[in-house]
Every structure is written in structure tokens, then in C-alpha cells.
Amino acid sequence: MRKINRIYLKLFLIYGLTFGLLMTLWDYLDEGEIDIIKLIFMTVFFGGFMSWTTIKNLKKTKIKANGKNELNEEDFKATQVKYIPKIITLDSAFERLKKYDIENSWHLKINNSRIEGKTKISWISWGEKILISFLNDKIEIMSKPRLKTQMIDTGKNRQNIELISHILNEE
């Protein structure tokens, strides 16, 4: 089975089953009975539509995995992490990132040996939490959704990781 088909099936199950369970509970609590044919139709339709739009949107934003022109499961993970060599200090990294603060609407602060930030809610996402940790010999860059229940993103966290990596590696 092709990677994209497995991803589509996984998304279909996540969206469809979650929606189906919630609608079954709603019908039971509201009407006291369950119309199984209606729920199966709605579950399949909703799961199919949502998984199709998610994959279409990700292809549209042209997320490329490892320089290839295809999507893989890593592109669908909401939390993205990247390690880069430690070639900059915490304070100079913070100053470099502050230059981009207004342009990207990031709210950054230094907390112990890491830089923490968050983005605002937009049409694309509910906002991201950005953590840049300065370890012994490397820097860990993590971008994850602010909404803890979010399982899939539209590539915004990967974009944050790549932008921060580029800014910190500038000469």
C-alpha cells in the first residue's frame, strides 16, 4: 500500500470514527434511539471529506519530506523537532529571533536555558508553542500546537522549525 493511501486511511479512521462516536452519543442522548444507517452514511461521508481536504491542503502547501516531492507520515505529525549544531549563544539567538518577532507575531521570552515563544491564532492554525533548548553540544528546536488535542497540522510547525533553523544558522 502506498504511503499516501496509508496516511489517507489513518486520517479517515481518526476523523470518521471520532465523528461517528460523537454523533451516536448525541443521537442517543437527544432522541433516545440510534439510526444506524444515517450514522454510517454521515461517518463515512465526513471521514472521507475531511481526510481528502487535509491531504489536498497539505499537497497544496507543497510540504516536501527530506527534499522529495512526496508526503510521508512525518509531515502529518503536529509536533515537529529538529536538532542543529550549537554555533550560537542563547542571548545572540534571542536577539536574532527578536528581529523577526514583529514580522511573525511571535511572543518570545528566555526561560532558564531555553527560548520559549508562541504564535497567535490564524486561519491556518490555533497557534503554535515554540521551544528552543540549548543543550550541551546542540540546539533543539521544537514547534507544537498550542491546542493539546490537535493531532494533525497543515505544515505550520515544520515551517516554524525551518525558519528558526535558517535564522540561527545565518552568518
**pLDDT, tens digit, 9 for 90 and up, residues 99-108:** 876 556 788 8
Rounded to the nearest angstrom, the gap between the alpha carbon of residue 155 and the centroid of all alpha carbons in its chain is 6
Q: In which element (H, E) is residue 85 found? A: strand 80-85
Q: Which of 155, 169, 164 shows the shortest CA–CA distance to 106?
A: 164
Helix (DSSP H) and strand (DSSP E) numbers for the chain: 6, 5
pLDDT band (50, 70, 90) for residue 122: confident
Task: Summarize pLDDT for 51-74 with one digit per residue, the tens.
Answer: 888 777 766 655 544 455 666 666
The domains of the chain are located at 3-72, 77-168
Q: How far apart are CA 165 and CA 171, in angstroms?
A: 12
d(CA 101, CA 163) in angstroms, rounded, equals 12
> φ, ψ for residue 156 (rounded to 5)?
-65, -40
Q: Are 71 and 60 in contact (CB under 8 A)?
A: no
Cα separations in angstroms, 163 against 36, 47, 55, 97, 119 = 48, 33, 23, 10, 14
pLDDT digits (tens, 9 = 90+) for 14-55: 889 889 999 999 888 888 888 888 889 989 999 899 888 877
Quick one: pLDDT at residue 115?
92
At the second CATH level, the architecture of 77-168 is 2-Layer Sandwich (3.30)
DSSP state of 67: T
Beta partners for residue 145, in sequence order: 128
